[in-house]
A and B are shown apart, each in its own frame.
Chain A
Amino acid sequence: MGRYIGGRVVSMLVTFLIIASLTFFLMKLLPGTPFNNQEKMSESQIQQMNEKYGLNDPVPVQYVTYMTNLFKGDLGVSFQQDGRSVTTIIGERIGPSAYLGFQSLLIGTIFGLLLGIIAALKHNTFLDYGSMIIAVLGISIPSFVIAGMMQYWVGVKWGMLPVAYWEGFEYTIMPTIAIAAAVTATIARFMRTEMLEVLGQDYITTAKAKGLTSTAVVIKHTIRNASIPIITIMGPMVVALMTGTLVIEQIFVIPGLGEKFVSSIMTNDFPIIMGTTLFFSILFIVVILVVDVLYGIVDPRIRLAGGK
């Protein structure tokens, strides 16, 4: 297991390097420079700024400088908020995003599991079809449409919840629902399939033949085994969640990382774009590793194979 994780960490580092380089060069393809949208600045001032931030150097030199600094843990400073380091800015912005992400993941997972379990246990009944209609809607309607509709009806028409901003729990409800919808739908469909698969297994008959109650059979033998493979879709799920927050934070004006990311693309604030991208990448790479390790822990068949 230790060797396995060691190998994985090395490949994670390589992945990270590739992502860092790719982002760097892709960013250089963005039209415009960081300072051409500040009308107040004169040509010479802009030149001065370019000089200061090393933007006049040839791109390969900039790349080497960037990567060297990166390894020192230095992500540079924002071009737009003079002097403030990227790490500080990410630090400030991480709170709302993390909160929204976790809350959506939690809610989405709980409801997804419930819907999937109900659908499978009531296979081919009204409840099954109902759950799956909800699931298909949840997957096919984009989160920004859900967000927009909620803002209009719940927020404006009925005035039940605040339309935007981030000032307390009630401000988190609509964004959470918007993001959690897709999570719920994906998990519900996956769980239903897994449940039906497990319910047809011989060992379920064995469990019934022991005289266990149907509840015990469902909880101890079915749900447990059906939910193990859910871990495998948690990786892609977290990605979907992160991209989801990008849009949703924008729509609800939430001072999170996603909102900052989008606005820094608008202003060509290279260090911020780089920093946030790298931050999201690390998060994703780590999630995938955790998912794999977790899978090995939960499923005894893999645990043994990994331990050898």
Chain B
Amino acid sequence: MEKILEVKDLHVSFDTFGGEVKAVRGVNLHLEKGETLAIVGESGSGKSVTSKAIMGLIPNPPGRIKEGEILFGGKDLAKMSEKELQSIRGSEISMIFQDPMTSLNPTMTVGKQIMEGLIKHQRLSKTEAKSRAIELLKLVGIPNPDTRVSQYPHQFSGGMRQRVVIAIALACNPRILIADEPTTALDVTIQAQILELLRDLQEKMGTSIIFITHDLGVVANIADRVAVMYAGKIVETGTVDEIFYNPQHPYTWGLLGSMPSLDTSEEELIAIPGSPPDLTDPPKGDAFAPRNPYAMKIDTELEPPLFKISDTHYAATWLLHEKAPKVEPPEAIKKRMKGMASSKPTMVTKDGERNG
């Protein structure tokens, strides 16, 4: 497999009145050609900041990339000039955002909004760009694209707007698509349809996707690999199977436990106790320790390294150290992992409707 993007030891901070917010604190990840990598974590864990750093869209001030490399096509995006970044944004790496109600310009027709990128990157004429925009609208499943192309965002429903946003992002056949919680603001049926669309388009266009979500339920449907993020760091990474059937980090257990699962809907959800740490003053040692029922003394003192479980599976928890006591995930979560095994392949059927 070919690595198309590699993020090495990325640190991003925001200088605020309250001090330096260390939003991303040493993220390592890579993306392979044609795959979908899910970045999962509670809100505030630094997922959006990581993706904005890749796009070169960290607002400065107050934000800055303090350290690290973002390697793409042999170049380091973290060190590129704004002009170079502009030629990559929207053409090689694109992004779709969480809220389709606010991510389109209300005073510009959707057609024009799609055409802008085409005119800039592919140097198409206005007429060419317009017919390409119509094709794209068709591609993302918008009926009557010929009339829709000259309508304004408020004339579209939320789901349809997200399709427009996807059309904008895919206009120039980018190699990487970063989707930052693209279904969070949508209702469940529409969510499933958008996921279906993304999978379809990925198959057609061979795009690699970074899919950001706080919902592990969505991950099973779309991702090949998962990176679990907590307090600005990746704490566990592995294939979907490894994360769902053999999770190692107590935080991943927590996420699995708090995930509403379909067969076990009767069962109560187990929320992770406590809340994420203050990133202006992150705790020494393992940032998850204060919320971790299995925390050991060393967790409060020394940050755990990434322990290797398999070639693709790593987790940063001292529980994997040879001297640590053997702990098993809580029974409830183990039961869920089993439940997941039976439900996963049928969670979304061909026509995009959810079972259950």
User: Interface residues, chain A, CB within 8 Å of chain B?
Assistant: 201-203, 205-214, 216, 220-221, 224-225, 228, 298-301, 304
Number of interface residues of B (CB under 8 A): 32
Is B156 in the interface zone, CB < 8 Å from A?
no
Convert B92-128 into 0s and 1s, putting 1 for each residue whose CB lies closer than 8 angstroms to a CB of A: 0011010100111111100001001100110000000
Contacts of A224 in B (CB 8 A): 107
Partner among B57, B107, B113 whose Cβ is within 8 Å of the Cβ of A208: B57
Is B249 in the interface zone, CB < 8 Å from A?
no
Instruction: A205 to B49: give the CA distance in the assembly, Å.
Output: 13
The answer to whether A202 touches B103, judged by C-beta atoms less than 8 angstroms apart, is: yes
The answer to whether A201 touches B102, judged by C-beta atoms less than 8 angstroms apart, is: yes
CB distance from B227 to the nearest CB of A (A): 21
Known A206-B168, A300-B107; further 17 A-B contacts with Cβ < 8 A: A202-B99, A202-B103, A205-B57, A206-B104, A207-B116, A208-B89, A210-B90, A210-B94, A210-B116, A211-B90, A214-B82, A224-B107, A228-B107, A298-B107, A300-B152, A301-B106, A301-B154
Instruction: A227 to B89: give the CA distance in the assembly, Å.
Output: 27
The answer to whether A209 touches B106, judged by C-beta atoms less than 8 angstroms apart, is: no
25 CB contacts below 8 A, A to B, read A203-B103, A205-B103, A206-B104, A206-B105, A206-B165, A207-B105, A208-B57, A208-B89, A209-B97, A210-B116, A210-B120, A211-B88, A211-B90, A211-B117, A212-B120, A216-B116, A216-B120, A220-B116, A225-B105, A225-B106, A228-B107, A298-B107, A304-B152, A304-B154, A304-B155
Instruction: A304 to B151: give the CA distance in the assembly, Å.
Output: 11
Instruction: A191 to B200: give the CA distance in the assembly, Å.
Output: 44
Given contacts A207-B105, A300-B107, contact A212 B116 (CB under 8 A): yes
Instruction: A202 to B154: give the CA distance in the assembly, Å.
Output: 15
Top 3 closest pairs, chain A to chain B, by CB: A211-B90, A211-B89, A210-B90
Contacts of B89 in A (CB 8 A): 208-211
Instruction: A208 to B168: give the CA distance in the assembly, Å.
Output: 12
The answer to whether A211 touches B57, judged by C-beta atoms less than 8 angstroms apart, is: no
Instruction: A308 to B154: give the CA distance in the assembly, Å.
Output: 14
Nearest B residue to A228, CB-CB: B107
Is B189 in the interface zone, CB < 8 Å from A?
no
CB distance from B181 to the nearest CB of A (A): 12
The answer to whether B105 touches A210, judged by C-beta atoms less than 8 angstroms apart, is: no
Convert B133-167 into 0s and 1s, putting 1 for each residue whose CB lies closer than 8 angstroms to a CB of A: 00000000000000000001011000000000100
The answer to whether B97 touches A202, judged by C-beta atoms less than 8 angstroms apart, is: yes
Instruction: A207 to B112: give the CA distance in the assembly, Å.
Output: 11
Nearest A residue to B117, CB-CB: A210
The answer to whether A221 touches B105, judged by C-beta atoms less than 8 angstroms apart, is: yes
Instruction: A208 to B56: give the CA distance in the assembly, Å.
Output: 10
Interface positions, chain B 67-90, Cβ under 8 Å from A, are 82, 85-90
Contacts of A211 in B (CB 8 A): 85-91, 117, 120-121
Contacts of B168 in A (CB 8 A): 206, 210
Is B37 in the interface zone, CB < 8 Å from A?
no
Instruction: A216 to B121: give the CA distance in the assembly, Å.
Output: 14
Is B55 in the interface zone, CB < 8 Å from A?
yes
Contacts of A201 in B (CB 8 A): 102
Contacts of B55 in A (CB 8 A): 209
Contacts of B105 in A (CB 8 A): 203, 206-207, 221, 225
Contacts of B121 in A (CB 8 A): 211
Instruction: A46 to B104: give the CA distance in the assembly, Å.
Output: 72
The answer to whether A300 touches B154, judged by C-beta atoms less than 8 angstroms apart, is: yes
Nearest A residue to B100, CB-CB: A202
The answer to whether A209 touches B108, judged by C-beta atoms less than 8 angstroms apart, is: no
